Chain A
C-alpha cells in the first residue's frame, strides 16, 4: 500500500511537471490589419519568383511571452507590408514574396531546439530568426551551426555571439547586457553611489546581466552587497527583498522581464523600500507599467531609443524609422503600444530581408552578407555595424536612460543623471 501510494504520488508529480511544461494551445493569430485587404496593386514589373522562407522562433506563450508576442506581431506586419507590395526583388531580378514560418517555443529551450530543427531541416528556411529569450536562443545555436544556417537572435545574453570563433553563423539584434550595465554604472557614478544590492532571474539572461554587473561594478569600486536570485515564474520576492532591505544599499539593481519584474517592483514598494530602483532593458514594454502601476513610478532603466522616440532631436538618424514603426505597429495590432522587443524583431527581419534582396536564399552567402555588408544599418535598437569581430554591432551609444514618470517613459539626459535631493 505504501509503495503504491509513493509510486502514485511520484507519477502524479511527473505528470504535473510535464503538464506544466506542455505547450498549451497555440495563441490566436493576431487581429488582421484594420486596413482593407487591398488586392496587390500595381503589378510588379518583374516576374514572380518562388517565396523566400524565413524561420521565426519566438516565445508566444510562457514567461517570455511579453517579449515574443510583439516580436511575432512585428514580423507578421513586415511580411504583410512586403507581400502587399509584391515581395522583394531578389538578385535574379524576380519579385519574391516572403514566407514567414512562425514557431512558438513556449519560452522553453528544448522546444526552441525542436522548432529550429524543423525549420532548418524540413522547411529548409534560408535564415533562422529567434528566439525571444537567451536560454532558448542558446539552445538553437547548435542546430544553426551544424546545418550552416545563419541565425539572428533577439535575446540579450552576450554568450549567444561569443566566443565569436564558435559563433560563425550567429548574430543578434538587441544590445548585449554589458553596455546596459555601463549606462547603469554612469548613473551610479554621477550620484556617488558605492553600495548596491542586486536581484535577478536565475536563467541565462539574468546570469549574463549579473556577471556584467559584478565585473564592471567591481572595477569601478562599487560594492555589490547582495546578489540574490529568483526562479523564472516566481511571484513572491519577500524573502530576497527582506534580505536586501536589511543591508541598506544605496540603490537596487534588478535583472528581470515584466512577468516577474512587475510584482517584484510592487513588493519592493509595499515593503517600504525607498532606495532608487534600477532595472535593465528587460522591462522595456508597457506591460510593466500597466502591471506595476504606481509602484513603477521612479523606476529607471537603460533602453533603446524607441520608447522616447518623440523626445529625440530631429537630427537623430533613427527618429524617422522609429516613428514610422510606432505608427505601423499601432495600426497593425489595433492600437498596441510598441516595445523594444518588437524593435529587436524588426531589426532581425529587416536585416534578413536586406540580405535576401542582395544575395538570395543561399545560406552561406547570406552569412557573409551579414558579416561584411551590414554597415550603418538604421534599425530600431540602434545603427548596426556587424563585422567579423562583432555580431551585435550596437553598443552603449544606442542606449538611453529612461525614468518612468506619470505612467510613461521620460528621457533622462546624461547631464541630468545626478539626483536632486
Chain B
C-alpha cells in the first residue's frame, strides 16, 4: 500500500462514513426524544432517493404499467423528495407510533421493524426490483490529489453531511424548539411540567429524522444507486454507528461513529481482505458492547445523569 492508495481508501471511507453518520444521527434524534429505536431509518433514505429519482428523470413505475417523466430540476426534486419523506415520517409517528405510546419500548421497536418491511414492500410495488441511478449533482472530471481521486459527488456527500451537522447543531443549541427537543431528551416529565408539548416534539423528531435520512439517501444515490432493498443495509450500518461510540443517545458520538465505521470498513477491505469487510464492522460492535454497553463517549445515559 502506497500513501496514495491509503489516502484513496481514506477518502472512500470518509464518503460512505458521512452517510452512515447521517443515518446514525436520525437514530439518535428519535431515540433521544421518544425512547424508540426507529429501525425504519434506512428506509427513509431509500424512499428519499427513489422519490428524487422519480421526480427528476424518466422512471417506469408499477412494473412498467406507466412511465413518468416530470423531469423537474434536480434541486426542486431533492427538496420535494425530502419534504415528502418528512411527511412519511410524520405519518409513521401519527398513525403507528402514537397509537402504541402506552406500550413498552420493545414493542414500539418491533413496530418500527414492521414499518420498515411495509415501506420496503410499498417501494417494491412502486419501483420494482431494479436499482435506479440519480445523476451526479455537478458534472466534471474528478479532482486528483496526488495519486488519489476525489469525485465531485464525494465532495457533495462530505460537504452536505458537514453542512447538515452544523445546521443541526445550531438548531439544537440556538433555537427555542431545539432547546425544547433537548429538554425532552433529558427528562420528558420535567419538560412537560415546563409547558413543552411533548407529543409535538416527538412528531418533530420523526419529521426531522425522516428528512435527515432522505437527504442521506439522495446524496449517496449517484454513487451507489438505489433499489427498494438498499435502505436496509444503510440502516444496519447507521445503527451500528449510532450505538458504538455514542450509545444511541449522543449526536456527536453518532457522527464520529459513522465516520469511523466507514473508514474502518474500507481499510479492512483494502488492507486485510475484502471478504471480511462487514465482519470487521460487526466484530467491533460486539467488542464495544461487551466492554462498554453505553458507548465509548458516555458513561451513562442522559436520564441516569439527570438522576431520573
Chain A residues at the B interface, C-beta cutoff of 8 Å: 1-3, 5-6, 8-10, 12-13, 15-17, 19-20, 22, 24-25, 27-28, 30-31, 60-62, 65-66, 69, 202, 228-231, 233-236, 238-240, 242-243, 245-246, 259, 262-263, 266-267, 270-272, 287, 291, 293, 333-336
Contacts and interface: CB of A to CB of B under 8 A. Distances in A.
A243 B236 contact: no
Contact of B149 (A65, A272, A287): A272
B12 interface: yes
A2 B235 CA distance: 24
A291 B2 contact: no
A229 B275 contact: yes
20 contacts: A3-B293, A6-B289, A10-B289, A12-B39, A20-B229, A31-B65, A62-B129, A65-B130, A229-B275, A230-B274, A235-B233, A236-B224, A238-B11, A242-B9, A243-B1, A243-B5, A259-B227, A287-B131, A291-B131, A334-B64
- How many residues of B sit at the interface, in one of the four size bands? 35 or more
Contacts of A66: 129-130
Contact of A28 (B4, B62, B266, B274): B62
Interface string B186-205: 00000000000000000000
Contact of A238 (B12, B65, B243): B12
B72 interface: no
B277 A293 contact: no
A411 B227 CA distance: 31
A270 B274 contact: no
Given A27-B124, A27-B128, 4 more contacts: A31-B63, A69-B128, A235-B223, A272-B144
Contacts of B151: 270
Given A259-B131, A336-B64, A242 B236 contact: no
B277 A61 contact: no
Interface string B103-137: 00010011001001100110011001111010000
The majority secondary structure among interface residues of chain B is helix
Contact of B16 (A27, A28, A236): A236
Contacts of B124: 24-25, 27, 61
A405 B62 CA distance: 30
B64 A333 contact: yes
Nearest to B151: A270
A239 B274 contact: yes
Contacts of A12: 37, 39, 109, 239
A378 B93 CA distance: 58
B68 to A, nearest CB: 15
Contacts of A272: 142, 144, 149
Contacts of B227: 259
B172 interface: no
A24 B293 contact: no
Contacts of B293: 1-3, 5-6, 9
Contacts of A229: 274-275
A236 B151 CA distance: 14
A234 B270 contact: no
B9 A25 contact: no
A230 B274 CA distance: 6
Interface of B: 1-2, 4-5, 8-9, 11-12, 16, 37, 39, 62-65, 106, 109-110, 113, 116-117, 120-121, 124-125, 128-131, 133, 142, 144, 149, 151, 223-225, 227-230, 232-233, 235-236, 239, 243, 247, 266-267, 269-270, 274-275, 277-278, 282, 285, 289-290, 293-294
Nearest to A202: B275
B233 A293 contact: no
B129 A60 contact: yes
Contacts of B290: 6
A234 B277 CA distance: 10
Contact of A16 (B62, B65, B236, B269): B236
User: Which has the most chain B C-beta neighbours within 10 Å: A2, A9, A229?
Assistant: A9
Nearest to A65: B129
B113 A15 contact: yes
Contacts of A336: 64
Contacts of A246: 1-2, 4-5
A25 B125 contact: yes
Contacts of A6: 289-290, 293
Given A229-B275, A272-B149, A5 B266 contact: no
A8 B108 CA distance: 13
B37 A238 contact: no
A236 B124 CA distance: 23
A9 B289 contact: yes
A202 to B, nearest CB: 6
Contacts of B116: 19
Nearest 10 A-B pairs (CB), nearest first?
A: A238-B12, A235-B224, A65-B129, A239-B270, A239-B269, A25-B121, A2-B293, A5-B293, A242-B8, A20-B232
User: Which has the most chain B C-beta neighbours within 10 Å: A15, A30, A31, A270?
Assistant: A270
Contact of A62 (B2, B8, B131, B229): B229
